[in-house]
Structure 1
Amino acid sequence: MPSVKSLTLTYDALNENGTFSEGDTITGKVTLDLLKEVAVQNLYVKAKGDADVRWTKKSGDHTHTYSAHRRYFKLKHFLIAEDSRDTSIAQGIHVYKFSFNIPPGSMPSSFRGSHGKVVYKLEAVLSRSWRMDRTVEKEINFVSKSFPNLHSLMSHQAGSTNKEMGLFSKGHVNMDATLERRAYAPGETVAIVAKINNSSSSNMTPKFSLIQDVVYRANGNTKHESNVIHKLVDSCISPHTQSVVKSAVKIPPGQMHTIQNCDIISVEYHLKVYLDISFSFDPEIKFPVVILSPDLLRGPQPGVAAGPYPAGATGGPSNSDFPPPAVSMGPYPPAPHSGSYAYPGAQSYSAPQPGYPNNTPMHAGPPPVYPPLPAHMSGGYSNPVPQPASPYGSPFSSSSSTSVLHPPPTAPTLHSPPSAPEIQPPPSSAFNVSPTAPTYNLMPSAPMMNADFLSQSDEPPPAYSLLFPSPAPEKSDAK
């Protein structure tokens, strides 16, 4: 008859989704149900987070295995302390409570793929003498909140593509597409607006696909995987017509989040908008999409302007421990693309615009409501944040068509600063572009070239006739 009836592990949820993130506290309990008194060496519970990658590749008669492992944290708490002698536990149900603090820092979200996984779990272990350890595990759903430049992900996206038709059709086609933002949560809908000008003799069908791209890395090798999450097909567009297509692609509620902070697994998403044309390369536009926790997108954030424009248009709160510098509240908005882009997490600020007291601005507007923000934190229309190179390659579909993502349009409330007046030089002085080269003096030991070299000695110089005697006069043959 077994002495241990059951060993169970439960934990308390922090939210309705049952997710945990960096810095959260996990509380729970371990329940031990005994049918009779037993001697226990120890009882402990562990919390850990690991990432693993593994795949095989055949090359002729040989099979190569690629694997990698990363551990993010491991915490251990003894419920029954380890002792030199066994601890007797009476018959009945015994409940032990525990608590863990997930360490802060950047850690990837939970993920399971065909060649790798990122798993966070709790594990309770009961150890007894001369017995196999009894173990129970419980996975926890970890959602990372480490997304630098979060508010820049809320900015508007726009792109366009053009294609000249080939042998089987004449004319050309143009498509402009827009997305309201870049970041979405599972269960949300991606709204797409595409303006299509079919100036060709072919029929074409607009299509929309949400695609997941996964890259596994191990031992200097990579394994790529692409999955179509959702696909929509719109109505056919006839030749020589224009059409505005509005579509909505829903992200599945349980879709795995974007992973950008793991060196052995990366998970990216992009939305492909393209035109299906028979016997021709399909012109397409690819929009990067980031799937993250709904808690990061829920409601207006402190310090973000409310209005018809996304939160990224004015930026958001900074993660820096340093206070922001004084900023100008004058009529000049911050200069585009100012500041440093070297480190995405570093705090840098734009220099205030110079003032011209003797020149009245020609296009002075009302002062902005919010002070200028650092360039790397601003994701609005007037100052797009530079994005890293897309892992999917170039958005150009073929040599006969071109596709490009446009930067967000300029916000209508901002006014471009007037050009600085040209500084005219004084009439009495010449305007030199470069400063005059400095004068270099010769070494003191070298005599000056304009001085008498022979006069450098205290003795009187010898007579010229002694140094250069005149030649003897020649005899003339004339008679």
Structure 2
Amino acid sequence: MVVFKKIKSFDVVLSETSKVYCSGEKVAGRVLVEVAEVTRVTKVKVVACGVAKVLWSKGSHQCKQQMEYLRYEEMLHPEDHPVDEDGSVILRPGNRYEYKFSFELPQGPLGSSFKGKYGSVNYWVKAFLERPCQPTQEVKKPFEVVDLVDVNTPDLMCPVSARKDKKVSCMFIPDGHVKLRASINRKGFCEGDDICICADFENTCSRIVIPKAAIVAKHTYLANGETKVFTQKLCRVRGNHIISGMTDSWRGKSIRVPKIKPSILGCHILRVEYFLQIYVSVPGSRKVILDLPLVIGTTSSGFSSRSSSMASQTSSEMSWVDLNIPGTPEAPPCYLDVIPEDHRLESPTTPLLDDLDGACDSPIFIYAPEFKFMPPPTYTEVDPNDNKSINVQ
């Protein structure tokens, strides 16, 4: 029976643990080793890798592809510690040994760290510890990389527009048209930006239609000549119902970019794209859809978000109140400030049609679903004069 000598601890620690790295930046860290008994170590090596992988099953075989962004290897030696002629060292219990390493990420475009349904882009540092007549031990430490995408380039600051006209029929009988024209003032945005939508809708069919907009993510995976596409709606807004013979316009309706990964456009096997989908749900027929391309970047677009502008406005107003009317209690918050956006109603009236985005065809019948506003939370004020609490329901 072979008894393996145990290593007390073996770990990789990066100098900046929570940092997100960019191309050309230095990644530094240490390999920490502690032993429980006198141990001869013949080699300590670090390998840094950055790999994009795509994998999915198709029938009895797998579609698999790999692309390498980073490959770095380095042999390490502890500082201020004697090394034998063969390069090995003797480690003794009670001491903590450090092997320092550093390397630079390649210049130029790198795939941002990403994990999707059929593929991923991962970066990591792996350390190997070798001993005579013992199995090699290894430890892995991942780190995040982002490929900087500047949305302030001329190409991404240009307006984007499209239009569509669809003939609607019922039982093969023509039933008018649904026309849609939409535009946005630029193509590049960052997380937290508000996308201002300008759109015109015209309904000449006999049915009531519903205009909506959504930010959609599109992941494209390429392997062995095959393509796999995965799409997902991330967030959406909706407009008022448009009855037969009427039109509607959006001027200033906005949708906020949620917390999402930046676009990945330079990878040959994996692409992450986004677009603003503006569509009209037509009962008993397929949706009328317009797709306006978006590029989600990492460099600020300079567009202040709705919350930031409201926060700064509130801050300046409260400063004026504090300076001029020091004893006045603050007014209760507005309902729209305390209820999340996904619980609000865009229209004060109850919708006439059930909103079924998951189905290809909407029902032709009219529904009257029940909508209830959520009650506002309990609001408490403290009067600084007599320190009494006033509860307002």
TM-score class, shorter-chain normalisation, is 0.5 to 0.7
1:220 aligned onto 2:225: yes
In the other structure, the counterpart of 2:256 is 250
Between 244-253 and 151-160, the greater mean CA deviation after superposition:
244-253
**Which residue of the other structure, out of 269, 283, 308, is the alignment partner of 1:278?**
283
In the other structure, the counterpart of 2:64 is 67
Aligned residue-pair number: 292
Amino acid aligned to 1:197: E
- Does the 8 A contact of 1:157 with 1:180 survive in 2? yes
For 1:29 and 1:176, the matched residues in 2 are separated by 57
For 1:230 and 1:280, the matched residues in 2 are separated by 23
For 2:35 and 2:192, the matched residues in 1 are separated by 44
3-state SS, counterpart of residue 295 of structure 2: strand
Amino acid aligned to 2:89: T
Structure-to-structure mapping, 1:426-441, within 5 angstroms: none
Q: List per-residue Cα deviations over 1:78-133 (Å, max 9, x = no partner).
A: 22289625311233222333211111122222222222221111112222122222
For 2:57 and 2:264, the matched residues in 1 are separated by 23
Distance 1:85 1:197, change over 3 A: closer
For 2:136 and 2:90, the matched residues in 1 are separated by 16
Structure-to-structure mapping, 1:163-242, within 5 angstroms: 163-167=166-170, 170-242=175-247
For 2:256 and 2:125, the matched residues in 1 are separated by 33
For 1:165 and 1:116, the matched residues in 2 are separated by 39
Distance 1:53 1:182, change over 3 A: same
For 1:12 and 1:129, the matched residues in 2 are separated by 30
Q: What is the deviation of 1:262? A: 1.4
1:98 aligned onto 2:101: yes
Amino acid aligned to 1:248: S
For 2:63 and 2:168, the matched residues in 1 are separated by 45
3-state SS, counterpart of residue 143 of structure 2: strand
**Which residue of the other structure, out of 135, 138, 146, is the alignment partner of 2:141?**
138
Amino acid aligned to 2:50: G
TM-score, normalising length: structure 1 = 0.55
- Does the 8 A contact of 1:169 with 1:201 survive in 2? no
In the other structure, the counterpart of 2:20 is 19
Q: What is the deviation of 1:147? A: 7.1
In the other structure, the counterpart of 2:128 is 125
Distance 1:50 1:32, change over 3 A: same
1:56 aligned onto 2:53: no
- Does the 8 A contact of 1:22 with 1:106 survive in 2? yes
* Structure possessing the higher radius of gyration over alpha carbons: 1
3-state SS, counterpart of residue 169 of structure 2: coil
Distance 1:150 1:11, change over 3 A: farther
Between 77-86 and 114-123, the greater mean CA deviation after superposition:
77-86
Structure-to-structure mapping, 1:364-375, within 5 angstroms: none
Amino acid aligned to 1:267: V
For 2:223 and 2:70, the matched residues in 1 are separated by 20
3-state SS, counterpart of residue 155 of structure 2: helix
1:111 aligned onto 2:114: yes
- Does the 8 A contact of 2:151 with 2:301 survive in 1? no
Between 161-170 and 210-219, the greater mean CA deviation after superposition:
161-170
For 1:158 and 1:225, the matched residues in 2 are separated by 24
In the other structure, the counterpart of 1:79 is 76
3-state SS, counterpart of residue 76 of structure 1: strand
Q: List per-residue Cα deviations over 1:230-260 (Å, max 9, x = no partner).
A: 233333223333323354333332x233222
Amino acid aligned to 1:132: P
For 1:200 and 1:191, the matched residues in 2 are separated by 28
Q: Any stretches of 5+ residues in structure 2 without a counterpart?
A: 304-359, 361-393
Distance 1:211 1:31, change over 3 A: same
Q: List per-residue Cα deviations over 1:143-189 (Å, max 9, x = no partner).
A: 11367994311222222222344347744333322223212223434
- Does the 8 A contact of 1:175 with 1:196 survive in 2? yes
TM-score, normalising length: structure 2 = 0.66
Distance 1:297 1:93, change over 3 A: same
Q: Any stretches of 5+ residues in structure 1 without a counterpart?
A: 301-396, 398-479
3-state SS, counterpart of residue 152 of structure 1: coil
Q: List per-residue Cα deviations over 1:37-93 (Å, max 9, x = no partner).
A: 3211121222211122222211xxxx1222222222211222228962531123322
| Identical columns (%) | 25
- Does the 8 A contact of 2:151 with 2:300 survive in 1? no
- Does the 8 A contact of 1:211 with 1:229 survive in 2? yes
Distance 1:195 1:13, change over 3 A: farther
Q: List per-residue Cα deviations over 1:197-225 (Å, max 9, x = no partner).
A: 33443211112222222222222222222
3-state SS, counterpart of residue 154 of structure 1: coil
In the other structure, the counterpart of 2:32 is 31
Distance 1:129 1:232, change over 3 A: farther
**Which residue of the other structure, out of 149, 155, 178, is the alignment partner of 1:152?**
155
- Does the 8 A contact of 2:151 with 2:189 survive in 1? no
Amino acid aligned to 2:46: V
Distance 1:100 1:244, change over 3 A: same
Distance 1:110 1:204, change over 3 A: same
Q: What is the deviation of 1:22? A: 1.3
- Does the 8 A contact of 1:106 with 1:146 survive in 2? no
Amino acid aligned to 1:78: M
